[in-house]
Amino acid sequence: MGTALALWMFPALLVFVAIGIPIAFSLMSVALIFGVLRFGDAAVFQFISKVDDVASNYILGAIPLFVFMGALLERSGIASKLFDAIYLWTRRLPGGLAIGTVLMCTVFAAATGITGATETVVGMLAIPAMMKYAYDKRLISGTICAGGSLGTIIPPSITVVVLAPVADIPVGDLFAGIMFPGLIMSVLFIGYIIGVCFLNPALAPREDIRPEDEISLGQKLRITGVALLPPVFLIFAVLGTILLGWATPTEAAATGACGSILLCFIYGQFNWTMLKEALYRTLSITAMIMLIVLGGSMFAGVFYASGGMVAIQKLLAEYGLAGWPAIGLILLLTFLAGFVLELISIVLIVIPIAIPLVKLYGIDPLWFSVLFLVILQTSYLTPPMAPAIFYLRAIAPPSITLMHMYKGVIPFIIMQVLTLCLVFLFPELATWLPKQIYGMQ
């Protein structure tokens, strides 16, 4: 009875989410109901132990520090200076502003690790500039949404910080594993923009650059160096120290948070009101994430203890699914779940179930985790429930409609699927760099 009961936890969870209960409380409620039905009062003691496990998880301590760092960077003035510097180099290319936006998102994602912050900050800078030069609204929408989604896969992504301990993979290994796929996706986005704007210049009218507006190479290098130095400093402080083994993710996040405070002082943006707002934002986002982590931990605990894994293995065997067909089904369900669930919720629901199956079938967990992250990013961008579009709606002018956004993201979704195919066909894209850095076997 127990194993059959465990399988009903997922339909029950969907019902709770469908009636509007927040995902964290949905996870906890389903875990409580099924835990008491299966184990009686003993379930309460398991939940108490899960609270202790989450509260004492050293890796999760990096989350508030990354969020705080991102909140401060929104106010530091780095973003606007960096955008202007990047555009100096891309303005003569077809779709120069859109290319600059993707490059900006790539750098900003590597400096903050927060998807929403990347899309919001860059979007607020890029949308007025692209509207000024009459860029096609579909191109504007797709570029902002796709560029912002890079925060999901380019390290130090908070989603990765949550996923790594759940999948029992070192955070540094997973950061190194997603590096190439993230950069490949960024290059594909830029390649698409150049190609489509070259074939149809009306999509992105070029700026009329007069001779007196030209900037010498020396000036360009100076402006770029000044603008790039702060984010490069932060990227090394966070990502470089992790990959080189100099610091744990939590220590690196603390270094990045201190660095972002220092940059606010350097740019003259630091004040107590800004600090208070950043702390409030950090508190609210961290509380939300940790509550979801706790709910997912409780849900997974009851599912495992009820024999849910055995039930899933039997169910897959009955339908003749094993190895990659079974894993493919899990990835498909992950993609569909992205329409209705928050990314971290999907990690905490799917990964505890998927990783034992991945190991059972002899598949590299690191490789699978990278594929999983690319799928998550694709669902983040895919209508009708794309979180990337919700972020864009909050900052876009009324003239950019929902239909512009839906049409605009489709070519970029194709680029994401192409990245997924490349990682699937060439596993070394995910495994080579960790082997070189950490000597993984």
Helix axes 272-305, 42-55, angle to 10 degrees: 140
pLDDT of residue 4: 64
The 10s digit of each residue's pLDDT in 240-287 is 787 777 888 788 888 888 888 888 888 777 888 888 888 888 888 788
Q: What is the pLDDT of residues 171-181, one digit of tens each?
A: 888 988 999 99
CB contact at 8 A, 385 and 344: no
Q: Is the pLDDT confidence value at 292 over 90? A: no
Whether residue 209 is predicted with pLDDT greater than 90 in this model: the reply is no
What is the DSSP track for 1-30? Answer: -HHHHHHTHHHHHHHHHHTT--HHHHHHHH
- Exposed/middle/buried for residue 216 (C-beta within 10 Å: 0-12, 13-18, 19+): exposed
Domain ranges of the chain: 2-438
Structure-block tokens of residue 89:
């180099």
Residue 64 preceded by cis peptide, ω within 30: no
What is the pLDDT averaged over residues 388-408? Answer: 85
Place of tokens 């074939």: 199
CA 153 to chain CA mean position, Å? 5
Cα 228-232-238 angle, rounded to 5 deg:
155
C-alpha to C-alpha distance for 98 and 206, rounded to whole angstroms: 11
Instruction: Report the percentage of the chain scoring pLDDT > 70.
Output: 90
The answer to whether the beta carbons of residues 204 and 133 sit under 8 Å apart is yes
Going by C-alpha positions, the residue among 217, 143, 151, 141 that lies closest to residue 395 is 141
Would you state the pLDDT for residue 185? 93
Taking each helix axis as running N to C, give the angle between helix 272-305 and helix 23-39, from 0 to 180 degrees, rounded to the nearest 10. 30
Mean pLDDT across the stretch 90-94? Answer: 83
The residue among 210, 90, 72, 175 whose CA lies nearest residue 434 is: 175
Residue pointed to by tokens 């690790």: 113
CB 79 within 8 A of CB 121: yes
